[in-house]
Amino acid sequence: MTNSPYFPVLVLLAAGVGFAIAPLALAWIWAWKFSPRKPGPSKNAIYECGLESAGDAWIQFHPGYYLYAIIFLVFDIEAVFLLPFAVAFAGLTFAAGMAMLVFLLLLVEGLVWAYQKQVLVWS
Amino acid sequence: MDEHLKTELRKQGIVATTLQELYNWGRKNSLWPLNFGLACCAIEMIAASMARYDMARFGAEVFRPSPRQADLMIVAGTVTKKMAPQVVRLYNQMAEPKYVISMGACAISGGPFKQGYNVLKGIDRYIPVDVYIPGCPPRPEALIDALMTLQKLIDKQSLTGADRPRHLQAEAPSEFIVPRFGAHDLEPPQNPEVWDAPLVNISLAGTDDAGKH
């Protein structure tokens, strides 16, 4: 067995596992011998910011965020793509121009939809 | 073990120690404070942890943002009655062994705001304090002095026996009453298990010269 080329790997593996387990085992033995466990309601609480947690974590979030996501795509991402498109416009092929047009139309569709939803109304 | 024999061995390059000394040596040199400041004393605490005063020299630079990983609570600043329940709950959530340094006049007694309706008159009303640092605010050197005092305290703690510290006694509490922010005051106004009200008898009879001038 010691002649096997994998023997050093086995030794390293054992040493690695021992290196990980030994401190944990030592801490466990120490706690069992000297230091008693003292759980309590505050100590076992989930949150650790000093405040008591209020309510349930399983709540529904209002899905209004998708409006912001659409508007962000229309105004921000579009600008990011439009600038290189405008710079490289003269050298583009017809197919590339069409692809960009489709992309723009999709985003404009989002803008029209947002307009119809009256998201853009400032009140 | 005989101290004299130990120093003799030390001269020969042999270090003799006990489990208790090793344990205390490890604990006192890795006091991780809770990342937690309440008022202006916290600025001095931050200064103490920075390069100029360098609390890292005492192994206490790792300010933990979670009470689960902290050993030391430095109550740095004015504890308002609104904040006191949170302070006590954070202390309860710290794992044993845990220590408290009451930093500054406010944390000790309410300080200049003692007469205020909204200020707790000393955090030692709710949690056991190990070291008090007077000052308004105490300088970083004072905090380092308090840390060294705490290190000396930890060094003296015994691992077994009747006088062993609280965290080694199974029946001693690890959590203390979290006060409730009531309509008029905190409820209860103090924890009698922790706080011994000092018996002060102030008599002004005969020595009161108010109104004579």
Q: Is B70 within the bounds of a domain?
A: yes
Q: At what angle do helices A94-116 and A78-87 cross, to 10 degrees?
A: 150
Query: Using CA atoms, how far apart are residues B95 and B174, in angstroms rounded to an integer?
Result: 8
Closest residue of chain B to A31, computed from CA coordinates:
B168
Interacting residues of B169 by C-beta distance below 8 A, sequence separation 6+: A36
User: What is residue B42's predicted lDDT score, i.e. its pLDDT?
Assistant: 92
Q: Is B86 within the bounds of a domain?
A: yes
User: What is residue B145's predicted lDDT score, i.e. its pLDDT?
Assistant: 94
Peptide bond into B165 cis (omega under 30): no
Complex ipTM, two decimals? Answer: 0.72
Q: Is B213 within the bounds of a domain?
A: no
User: What is residue A90's predicted lDDT score, i.e. its pLDDT?
Assistant: 86
| Mean pLDDT for chain A overall | 87
Q: Is B75 within the bounds of a domain?
A: yes
| Ranges of chain A whose pLDDT falls below 70 | none
Contact B102, B131 (CB under 8 A): yes
Q: pLDDT class for B85, splitting at 50, 70, 90?
A: very high
Taking an 8 Å cut-off on Cβ atoms, the answer to whether A50 and B160 are in contact is no
Query: In chain B, positions 37-76, which contact chain A (CB-CB < 8 Å)?
Result: 66-68
Higher pLDDT, A12 or B207: A12
Count Cβ atoms below 10 Å from residue B81 Cβ, excluding itself: 19
User: What is residue B206's predicted lDDT score, i.e. its pLDDT?
Assistant: 64
Mean pLDDT of B4-12: 89
Q: Is B106 within the bounds of a domain?
A: yes
Mean pLDDT of B185-189: 87
User: What is residue B211's predicted lDDT score, i.e. its pLDDT?
Assistant: 55
User: What is residue B202's predicted lDDT score, i.e. its pLDDT?
Assistant: 67
- Dihedral of the alpha carbons of A103, A107, A108, A110, in degrees to the nearest 10: 150
B20 touches chain A (CB under 8 A): no
Taking an 8 Å cut-off on Cβ atoms, the answer to whether B175 and A50 are in contact is no
User: From residue B167, how far is each of A32, A72, B83 by CA, in Å?
Assistant: 13, 55, 26
Count Cβ atoms below 10 Å from residue A9 Cβ, excluding itself: 10
Residue of B93, B166, B181 best to disrupt the A interface, most CBs of A under 10 A: B93
Q: Which residues of B touch A35 (CB under 8 A)?
A: 96, 167-168
Would you say residue B172 has pLDDT above 90? no
User: What is residue B160's predicted lDDT score, i.e. its pLDDT?
Assistant: 85
Q: Is B64 within the bounds of a domain?
A: yes
CA of A56 vs chain B CAs: smallest distance (Å): 20
* Domains held by chain B: number: 1
User: What is residue B207's predicted lDDT score, i.e. its pLDDT?
Assistant: 63
Q: Which residues of B touch A29 (CB under 8 A)?
A: none
CA of B168 vs chain A CAs: smallest distance (Å): 5
Q: Is B193 within the bounds of a domain?
A: no
Query: Using CA atoms, how far apart are residues B23 and B72, in angstroms rounded to an integer?
Result: 17
Of B160, B168, B175, the CB nearest to A42: B175
Percent pLDDT > 90 in chain A is: 24
Closest residue of chain B to A35, computed from CA coordinates:
B168
User: What CATH number is associated with residue B88?
Assistant: 3.40.50.12280
Query: Using CA atoms, how far apart are residues B24 and B158, in angstroms rounded to an integer?
Result: 9
Both structure tokens of A76 = 């921000």
Contact B141, B53 (CB under 8 A): yes
Query: Using CA atoms, how far apart are residues B31 and B36, in angstroms rounded to an integer?
Result: 14
Which residue segment(s) compose the domain that B121 sits in?
Answer: 31-159+178-187
Q: Dump pLDDT digits (tens) for A24-45.
A: 999 899 888 888 888 888 888 8
Mean pLDDT of B66-79: 92
Mean pLDDT of B18-35: 91
| Mean pLDDT for chain B overall | 88
Percent pLDDT > 90 in chain B is: 53
Q: Dump pLDDT digits (tens) for B147-158.
A: 999 999 999 999
DSSP three-state, residue B67: helix
Query: Using CA atoms, how far apart are residues B107 and B41, in angstroms rounded to an integer?
Result: 9
User: What is residue B212's predicted lDDT score, i.e. its pLDDT?
Assistant: 52
Q: Is B37 within the bounds of a domain?
A: yes
Closest residue of chain B to A46, computed from CA coordinates:
B93
Mean pLDDT of B25-43: 91
B174 touches chain A (CB under 8 A): yes
User: What is residue B205's predicted lDDT score, i.e. its pLDDT?
Assistant: 65
Mean pLDDT of B176-194: 88
Strand partners, B76: B103
Of B87, B160, B174, the CB nearest to A43: B174
Percent pLDDT > 70 in chain B is: 93
Strand partners, B72: B33, B99
Would you say residue B190 has pLDDT above 90? no
Q: Helices marked H in B78-120 — which ranges?
A: 84-93, 104-109
Mean pLDDT of B44-71: 91
Would you say residue B210 has pLDDT above 60? no
